[in-house]
Structure 1
């Protein structure tokens, strides 16, 4: 029997998650984190959250979400998770829960179901072979999971594969090759350093040219509030950034991204910014960094030169929804 969400199932779903989802690497949940991740999320929809019951016992949990203000939100619904206890991990039960999510998407006028990093319900997971170092979001379905195999059989298309990469900062050293690249850029008038409002200007103009609303908000606010940001500047004018440089409570280095003004590409500034970001994190006592990159993204070589290595792979998936 499939039931839509009721808070009465909270404890049983948490127990199910900690029994099953944790085996796929996801972080365990308690009542506080479940509330924060699901029920208090502004995109939580109790009509798109389901439990599978057998003899009134919770055997499965599934959740999807929508929002017209989300990226692709006019057309896409986001599948957040489908979790089934071990003996129920069959196509029959996966399909019952998947169809429940997709039917809700159809009711809301959505034409596609996506498993994608734009999903605002972010599932934290542990980085393998670390002392519970964690990343705050899964950008797709783990390719080593039974859910991934089911979705492929069900006709979901893999649109991209994301590499989750990790660096333990205790062993980080900036390579000599990068120091030489920084010297070459300096000879052309470019300097990469922490933002200083006395020395640097033009951040807002640079962010506007990059055209990323998240960066405009987060990097703009960081430079205004004195939160460290690494900038590339030409004669004091900002032409690139990396950051912000924030050590999270779990020891991870949080940053929103790296960007270089299109008119100043070709000088190695993206690489220099990234390595300077690693240095900045190490200097404030950050334990580790983790990030995602597509398998075809040339930047993966930059990350590897810094000492990052791939720890997991996630599939970005989609299915067009028939009426």
Structure 2
């Protein structure tokens, strides 16, 4: 029997999560974290959160979310997760859960269903072969599980592959060739350092050059609040950034992104920014870094040179929602 969310199922769903989702690498949940990720989210929808019951036992959990102010939100709904217990993990049961979410999307006027990194309900997961180092979000469908194969069979298109990359920062240092790049850039009057309002200007102009609303908001807020950000500057004017430099309570270095203004590419600034960011994290006692990048993103070479390795891959997927 498929039922919509009611608070009476809270304890049973958390227990189900800690048995089933944890097997797929996701972090355990308790009442506080379940409330934070799901129930207290402004995008939580009781009508789009489903529980599959057999003999009053939770055998499945699925959740989708929508919001017109989300990227693509006016036309798309986001599927957050679908989990099934081992004994019913088949296409027919996956289809029951997925169809319920998609039907809710249709009722809300959405034209497509997305598994996408813009999903505001971020699910933390453990990085394999580490002492429970964790990443704070799963940006799509893990490609190493049965759900991915099911979605392909159902007609979902794989639009991109996101590589989850990891680096233990113990012993990290900036190599000599990066230092040489930095010296060469300085001869062209470029510098890379933590943002200093007495030395740097033009951050807003720089951020506008990236056409990335998330960066424009987050990096500007960090600069205003005094949160450290590594910046590249040309004669004092900001032309690139990496960061912010935030050590999370779990020891992870939080990383929003790295960017160099198009007018200042070709000077090695991207590499310098990233290595100096890693150094800044190590200096404040950060244990590790993890990040996502597209499998075809040239920046993956920078990350690999710094010692990052791909530890898992996630598929960004979409299906057009036909009227039924």
Q: TM-score, normalised by structure 1?
A: 0.98
Query: Partners of 1:240 and 1:143 in 2: how far apart?
Result: 33
Which residue pairs with 2:122 in the alignment? 122
Partners of 2:243 and 2:256 within 8 A in 1: yes
Partners of 2:168 and 2:288 within 8 A in 1: yes
Which residue pairs with 2:293 in the alignment? 293
SS of the aligned residue for 1:170 comes to: coil
Q: Deviations over 1:2-24 (max 9, x none)?
A: 11110111111111111111111
CA RMSD, Structure 1 to Structure 2 (Å): 0.9
Which residue pairs with 1:279 in the alignment? 279
Q: Does 1:312 align with 2:312?
A: yes
Query: Partners of 1:75 and 1:218 in 2: how far apart?
Result: 25
Which residue pairs with 1:168 in the alignment? 168
Number of equivalenced pairs:
323
**Structure 1: stretches of 5+ with no match in the other structure:** none
Query: Partners of 1:105 and 1:202 in 2: how far apart?
Result: 42
Q: TM-score, normalised by structure 2?
A: 0.98
Q: Report 1:161-240 matches (<5 A).
A: 161-240=161-240
Query: Partners of 1:83 and 1:252 in 2: how far apart?
Result: 27
SS of the aligned residue for 1:242 comes to: strand
Runs of 4+ in 1 over 3 A off after TM superposition: none
Query: Partners of 2:32 and 2:257 in 1: how far apart?
Result: 29
Partners of 2:255 and 2:291 within 8 A in 1: no
Shift of 1:224: 2.0
Which residue pairs with 2:131 in the alignment? 131
Query: Partners of 2:62 and 2:76 in 1: how far apart?
Result: 17
SS of the aligned residue for 1:149 comes to: helix
Q: Deviations over 1:158-197 (max 9, x none)?
A: 1111110000000312121111111111111000001111
Shift of 1:148: 1.0
Query: Partners of 1:120 and 1:181 in 2: how far apart?
Result: 38
